[in-house]
Amino acid sequence: MNLFESDIEQCLKVLNEGGMILYPTDTIWGIGCDATNAAAVEKIIQLKNRPDEKSFVVLVGSETEVMQHVASLDLLVFDYLHSSVKPTTVIYDHAIGLAENVIANDGSVAIRICNDEFCKHLIKRFRKPIVSTSANISGMPSPQKFSAIDNAIKIGVDYVVKHRQNEDSVALPSSIIRWHNGQVSVIRP
């Protein structure tokens, strides 16, 4: 079994048991768990020492999966995403089918359709959305590569993906927009 497949198998085991993974995404490294499991999400909140009211980003593998977790979705958002140059996280109103501690107080949820090969493969095999939050203690800078991740995070998760650990290129977080009634508000360019 190659490293990629071994990592996928280990991640699936941990995610199915309600655990946390440290994994590469299409942007920066993230801490992840089953986005439908409130107890798993709570573990991330504790590890990061994160305020309860702060919402999470959820990764999915396709437009269809966005439609499964957003009520009354405006399909024009997908045209916008197809024209985006960099990975874009969208804040959608009316989240459904996710853990309550993933959803913001106003009922919205931040979702990104992930294009990274590892993430897409993992999400497809897991068959559920995965939380993705920066691999840092809350309030500290987001690490731009694996080597910059605090040891407290590496030790605190249940599995650390080996795939792409040696990459030295600097990763950047996604753009964040809010999609509301067909209008785009840029939150983070």
pLDDT for the residue numbered 55: 83
- Using DSSP bridges, classify how beta strands 30-32 and 21-23 pair: parallel, antiparallel or unpaired: antiparallel
pLDDT tens digits, one per residue of 119-153: 999 999 999 999 999 999 999 999 999 999 999 99
What span, in angstroms and rounded, lies between the C-alpha atoms of 60 and 11?
A: 15
Q: DSSP for 95-153? A: B-SS-TTTS-TTS-EEEEE---HHHHHHHHHHTS-EEEEESS-TTSPPPSSGGGS-HHH
C-alpha dihedral (43, 47, 49, 50), degrees to nearest 10: -50
Domain architecture of the chain: domains with CATH: 3-188 (3.90.870.10)
Burial per residue of 35-64, b for 16 or more beta-carbon CB atoms within 10 angstroms, e otherwise = bbbeebbebbbebbebeeeebbbbbbbeee
Using CA atoms, how far residue 97 sits from 33, 182, 187, in Å, is 15, 23, 25
pLDDT, one tens digit per residue, over 23-72 is: 999 999 999 999 999 999 999 999 999 987 888 999 999 999 999 999 98
In this predicted structure, the answer to whether residue 13 has a pLDDT above a threshold of 80 is: yes
Q: Tokens 């993974």 belong to which residue?
A: 21
Give percent above pLDDT 90 in the chain: 89
The span from the CA of 85 to the CA of 83, in Å, is: 6
Token pair belonging to 58: 């959820």
| Sheet containing 175-180, strands listed edge to edge, beginning at the edge strand earlier in sequence | 159-160, 21-23, 30-32, 130-134, 57-60, 109-113, 88-92, 175-180, 183-188
- C-alpha to C-alpha distance for 179 and 140, rounded to whole angstroms: 28
Of the pLDDT bands very low, low, confident and very high (cuts 50, 70, 90), residue 155 is very high
Kindly tell me if the per-residue pLDDT of 17 is higher than 90: yes
